[in-house]
Structure 1
Amino acid sequence: MKTYSIAFLFSCLVSFSVLAQSNLEQVLMGIEANNKTIQAQKQNFEARKLEFKADLPLYNPNFEYDYMDGSPSAAGNLTDIWINQSFDFPTAYGKRRELAKGLSSQADFALMATRQEILLEAKQSYLELVFRNKLQQQISNRKAATERLLRDFERKLTTGDGNILDVNKAKLQLIEINKDFQSNLAGINQLLQNLKSLNGGIELEVMASSYQEEELTTDFELLFEEFKAADPMWKYVEMENKTSKIRLEHMKAMALPKISTGYRYQSLLGQTFQGFRLGASIPLWENKYKVRQKEAEFSFASLQWTDYQNERYYELRQLYERYEKLSTTLQDYRNVLENISSIAYLDKALELGHISTIEYFLESNYFYTAYTNYLQTENDYYRVKAELLRFRL
């Protein structure tokens, strides 16, 4: 009976190839270029930026021309021309420009957050695909080994050296393995379809065979500072607090008198009159409650910003602690699995008759269950790490 090296299988499963790393980067680059949601949001936010700038220009100038025939004719004809331009209080224009700039920055951060969310989903699907592919390799090895056992039992049965019970046990074991094989294969296909959907319906060549290593500091506070400096949602909420304050200042400026200036020309009975006009509105009622409204909105935005900072800190902290625990568990698995060849020993023991067929399958299933748990722990480790480092996408 042939045996295979678990140590060799393990070394294949924990390798980190440059090819896989570049493949992940290529997948993310393709999805960023082809994803329909990202493309739609780019157009949407460009339109919003133009909307923010729409209030920056001055009011339209007003032109009026009146011509009236006099009666009787001796009364002469009256010509009246008005040109008028209205202005907000001067400080309003500075606040309006500042507000447009802030809202434009928010639109950029929102687009970056949308892009990041989609790329994180793609990366998590890719990492899940690595796990599924590794698991499929393990199941394939089990399948091949069990098929060899079944052929050996059937051969011994025909020569009178075996028994039908061993053949039936091997057949039942193979049925269970084939079920896992097909179920995992279906999972692989679903992940590939999800990546294709994220890629705008365009097929992707994905070689997800190993995980990509990324540097992660052992100091959480340093990681949090890096997160604050790069995370677009952090910047978006922070800017929302700032723009809320600018809105309040802008509304206070809008509550100041508006100014209008103009030119008037009048002609009657050969006499002409011309001159300039200056006026101002008195803001008694129009903005009575609007300033209070913006004050309440600013207070809400400030509380929301404080709450968001606190929430994100502890959310990231909990994720980092989970990452540390997974790192320890993963290393424990690796330390043990690198130094054992359980299946090879079981194959030899079965061949020599030291254990029964049922003992062989029970022990091998125990080992494969532990190995599957290792693969799942490894996948959880890299998925949590990807979540921690999402701000780098």
Structure 2
Amino acid sequence: MKLIASLYCLLISTTVYSQTGIDSLLSQVSRNNKAIQAKREFELARKAEFKTGLTPYDPTVEYDYLSGSPAGAGNQRDFAVTQQLDFPSVYGSKRKLSVQQGIQSDLQHRVFSQDILLKAKLEALELIYLNKLSAELKHRLERTQALVSDYQKKLDKGDAIILDVNKAKLQLLNIQQDVLLNDNAISQTLTRLQELNGGMEISLTDTIYPFVAQVPNFRTLDSLIEANDPLLQVYEQEQLIRQQQITVQKRLNLPKIETGYHSQAILGQSYKGVHGGISIPLWENRNRVKAAEANLNYANFNAVNHKLEHQLENKQYYDQLEVRENAMAEYRTLLSSLNNAALLDKALKFGQITIIQYAQDERFYFDSYLRYLQMEAEYHKALARLYKFMLN
């Protein structure tokens, strides 16, 4: 526990998320998502089921009335109240199993909720990417509209030809379509987020991703995930449950006890006394212990297999971080040092390039910036998947 606490403190000190619109969005989804609400009620029902069978069996009340034959033989009346009990140690084992199943139910609810919240966060990160792209597209649109207007004025003065004006208009049309397609993508993403938010509208205009101060090395990060991820804890809890089921089954193989009250009346005479009995465990639970042990072996192998798969999956996301972080740094350095828009405008104004060359060079710069935006979005999505266990 000290190690887990230390690792968690390290996580807090090395990875700091800023409060953004995403935090507010995820809080809304956690409250309003219908699937999460339904899952919560389902787990409450399961917990109630886990508590059944923890008490003794219902008592049995029997009454017999037997008419005598021949006449004068008298009638017989029998009355009995009996109670069957498992061996005393069974009840404690069952209660312990119920507690462990309840813990697993809570973990499964956390896993389900985190899946929904991760889906919402990935959509929100996609929306931030689209918002950033929208800002760049609208900037290009304004510049191209000014370009078309300028060439139209030149055409009116006889300083330009209609072909150049048409080329500028075609460039404007292409950018207008890019803007419309991006606006449509934003609308679709908001619709998906609205669905995740239980049908309630969401507004997210952020163009800045959640800030991450530092990502620890993979070995440290993997230890944090293993210590705090409820999905891994579900598999570990399943092992404990299967082990406890073996204990319960072994104790169910012990004899059952039956006790009660019995009275009998015949020919004016009555007999009253206690009733006692014990079952002989021969066939009823045969092979059930073997089945429980086989289930434990399955849970053990399943836990090991899942842990390996989960670790390798996280390693892939972690490797994506390093590759994209280096590429982003190179793009950021180069793009920040360029002033292509001003240079292109100046070169076109002085006739050093044609309108076609202008459009091609402007598009080349935009494609490079678009690749940077895509890498940035993929980086933060990989980061969100790695830190999924922190979503609440």
Normalised to the residue count of structure 1, the TM-score between the two structures is 0.90
Distance 1:71 1:366 in 2: 111
8 Å CA contact retained: 1:126, 1:208: no
**Which residue in the other structure is 2:240 paired with?**
242
**Which residue in the other structure is 1:341 paired with?**
339
**Which residue in the other structure is 1:168 paired with?**
166
The amino acid that maps onto 1:28 is L
Q: CA deviation at 1:293?
A: 1.6
Q: CA deviation at 1:264?
A: 1.8
Distance 2:125 2:215 in 1: 21
Alignment of 1:130-145 (within 5 A): 130-145=128-143
8 Å CA contact retained: 2:58, 2:83: yes
1:192 aligns with 2:166: no
Aligned partner (choices 224, 227, 232) of residue 226 of structure 1: 224
Q: CA deviation at 1:125?
A: 0.5
The amino acid that maps onto 2:346 is K
**Which residue in the other structure is 2:254 paired with?**
256
What residue ranges of structure 1 are gaps of 5+ in the alignment? 1-16
Aligned partner (choices 278, 282, 285) of residue 283 of structure 2: 285
The amino acid that maps onto 1:298 is L
1:204 aligns with 2:202: yes
8 Å CA contact retained: 1:59, 1:86: yes
Distance 2:263 2:71 in 1: 22
1:49 aligns with 2:47: yes
Distance 1:182 1:336 in 2: 29
The amino acid that maps onto 1:87 is L
The amino acid that maps onto 2:325 is S
Aligned partner (choices 122, 132, 141) of residue 124 of structure 1: 122
The amino acid that maps onto 2:219 is E
8 Å CA contact retained: 1:52, 1:103: yes
**Which residue in the other structure is 2:27 paired with?**
29
Alignment of 1:311-390 (within 5 A): 311-390=309-388
Q: CA deviation at 1:73?
A: 7.8
Q: CA deviation at 1:165?
A: 2.2
8 Å CA contact retained: 1:120, 1:387: yes
1:274 aligns with 2:300: no
Normalised to the residue count of structure 2, the TM-score between the two structures is 0.91
**Which residue in the other structure is 2:14 paired with?**
none
Distance 2:351 2:69 in 1: 131
**Which residue in the other structure is 2:4 paired with?**
none
Q: Deviations over 1:58-109 (max 9, x none)?
A: 1001122334465678655544321211112222222211221121111111
Q: CA deviation at 1:325?
A: 1.3
The amino acid that maps onto 1:179 is Q
8 Å CA contact retained: 1:84, 1:261: yes
What residue ranges of structure 2 are gaps of 5+ in the alignment? 1-16
The amino acid that maps onto 1:277 is H
The amino acid that maps onto 2:368 is A
Q: CA deviation at 1:337?
A: 1.8
8 Å CA contact retained: 2:131, 2:205: no
Q: Deviations over 1:22-58 (max 9, x none)?
A: 3211111111111110111111111111111111111
Aligned partner (choices 126, 145, 159) of residue 157 of structure 2: 159
Alignment of 1:296-315 (within 5 A): 296-315=294-313
**Which residue in the other structure is 1:181 paired with?**
179
Distance 2:376 2:271 in 1: 89
How many residue pairs get aligned? The number is 375
SS at match of 1:276: strand
The amino acid that maps onto 1:273 is Y
After superposing the two structures, state which structure 1 stretch, 326-335 or 35-44, moved more. Answer: 326-335
After superposing the two structures, state which structure 1 stretch, 151-160 or 90-99, moved more. Answer: 90-99
**Which residue in the other structure is 1:5 paired with?**
none
Distance 1:142 1:349 in 2: 17
SS at match of 1:56: coil
The amino acid that maps onto 1:168 is N
Two-structure CA RMSD over aligned residues (Å): 1.9
SS at match of 2:258: strand
Q: CA deviation at 1:141?
A: 0.8
